Structure 1
Amino acid sequence: MGFKYNRVNSDTEEQSLTLDSDNSSDSSAEYTQQHHLPSRKGFKISLSVAKDLILISFALLGFISLVQPKSSNHASMQPDGDAIGKHHQAAPAFTSCDCGNSTAEAVQLGCKYDSLAAAWLPEHCRDDELTAEFERSGPGPGGKWTYWADGNHTQEISIEEIAKMADDTDGRFHMTGHWHVIHCIFYWRKEQRARFNGKIVEPRSYSEAHSKHCGKIFLDPGRDTIAGVALNTDAE
């Protein structure tokens, strides 16, 4: 008697299915052996192969990550401004900001007077764009700062005249307490920008002592600030 899988709708049909001949049972067993078992075995083999492929893929990815050079993007980490640039620049080989013993020697060494530092600095110690911004951050027309030759703020003096004071160890000039506060803010920016623009901050200002000094200025800027002009900023 032939055997077919049919939907069981009643007890009678279920009973008739049970009373089928031994040939039907043999046929069912043979069907199961020939069709179901190979299918399960094939499924197990396919699953095993898939697992192996996944493991191999992860192993390859891990190997590639080890041998491939890692790139660093510091675009998320950089302050706004074109001066910093799109790429991290290596720190310069120079570590000294010394400009000699006179303004004439400073010029020969390629140094310039930096109004933010109140000192002569070589190119690798200057952030010229930041200094230019500082010179536009004062209270005067166009952001100009006013400098004086006296503590009473009656004799104005130009930046060019201030620059020449480096030849006179006793030379001094005066500015407001507000100038001093903004100077400190810009120096903190200079330190941050130096991480990316390849410049260095002169040792005189890149110190805990200068940070403490600026902290005191924030608490009490005062009316007047007095300063000299340095040629060698390697020492505090």
Structure 2
Amino acid sequence: MTPGSSTPPSYAPLHNKEDGDSIDGLDMLPLHRSRNPRRENALRAAKVISALVLVAFIVLTFALSFHAVDLLGKIGHLINEPKPASHQRSYKYPCGQTATEAKEKGCIFDIMSMAWQSPECFDEDLHEEFMDLGPWKFYSDETATHELTYEQVSQRGQISWAERRYFVVHCVYGWKAMHRAWQRAWRMDSNLASMAHTELCSRVLKNTSVPLDAMTTRIHVDFPSCN
């Protein structure tokens, strides 16, 4: 304002808080930072992965715990299971040398292996499977005039005759029995498990010139070890 002037002085208006973005001359920080989509996606993915890893770890821990408990229980059962008497643990010719002796010792006549088997060497499920492929007939000589019962065939010293088909299926039975015994850590008929039996069956199967219904199989019952 100058002396002698009638014009009123002019003043710059003061800024109200609502008129600007600053207080006391300082810029206010924004209430919300600008978002970074990539960073947010990365954080979200990291959280999901962490959650999955945690769940997998918990499930694996429980599974291993249950498995360990089950394994310890089985080991304890084996340790505490009473062993059979020493005379029952002899597997060298466990069925004796005659049908009568084999029955007294609790052995089973296996028509497919043509042998008396101790219970540890008798695969009941496999035996039933191959018996269903029959009927298996046996005769006193190659003329097939007199059929023998299984009881007669099971006697020591009895010579029986059967079709070649029986021998072929007998070989398959022996190989399957050997494989099942190996898988399950079972004992095995010493005859069926021998290389000599495998060689014999190999020769029979390779010879395709003999008809399956030919009466060529000469049989006698055996009393093998149970190895």
- TM tier, shorter chain? 0.5 to 0.7
Q: Deviation at 1:107?
A: 1.2
User: Residue type matched to 1:230 in 2?
Assistant: D
* Residue type at the aligned position of 2:172: I
8 Å Cα contact 1:148-1:175 kept in structure 2? yes
C-alpha distance in structure 2 between counterparts of 1:52 and 1:180, whole Å: 62
2:190 to 203, 208, 213: 203
Distance 1:105 1:232, change over 3 A: same
1:116 aligned onto 2:112 = yes
Flag structure 2 segments of 5+ consecutive residues without an equivalent.
1-14, 71-77, 79-83
Following TM superposition, by how much is the alpha carbon of 1:133 offset from its aligned partner in structure 2, in angstroms?
Answer: 3.9
What are the Cα deviations for residues 57-86 of structure 1, in whole angstroms up to 9, with x where unaligned? 5554554454441799xxxxxxxxxxxxxx
Q: Give CA-to-partner distance per residue, 1:75-125, whole Å, 9 cap, x none.
A: xxxxxxxxxxxxxxx9xx968262012222211100122111111112222
8 Å CA contact 2:175–2:192 kept in 1: the answer is no
Cα displacement (A) at 1:48: 11
CA distance in 1, matches of 2:46, 2:128: 67
Match of 1:36 among 16, 33, 37: 33
Match of 2:126 in 1: 130
Residue aligning to 2:161: 174
The TM-score, its normalising length taken from structure 1, stands at: 0.58
Query: Is the 8 Å Cα contact of residues 95 and 223 (structure 2) preserved in structure 1?
Result: yes
1:225 to 199, 217, 226: 217
Say if 1:2 and 1:152 are closer, same or farther in 2 by CA, change over 3 A: farther
State the alpha-carbon separation in 2 of the partners of residues 52 and 137 from structure 1: 57
- Equivalenced residue count is 186
TM-score for the superposition, normalised by structure 2: 0.60
Identity of aligned residues (%): 19
Q: SS state of the match for residue 227, structure 1?
A: strand
Q: What is the one-letter code of the residue matched to 1:109?
A: K
Matched residue, 2:145: 154
CA distance in 2, matches of 1:145, 1:180: 11
1:108 to 1:198, Cα distance in 2 relative to 1, 3 A? farther
1:130-154 per-position Cα deviation (integer Å, ceiling 9, x unaligned): 334433423xxxxx22212223333
Deviates more, 1:49-58 or 1:218-227: 49-58
> Per-residue deviation at 1:37?
7.8
8 Å CA contact 2:137–2:147 kept in 1: the answer is yes
Larger deviation, residues 208-217 vs 196-205: 196-205
How far 1:3 moved relative to its partner?
11
Larger Rg: 2
CA 1:62–1:103 in structure 2 vs 1: closer, same or farther (change >3 Å)? closer
Q: Which amino acid aligns with 2:222?
A: A
Which residue matches 1:100? 96
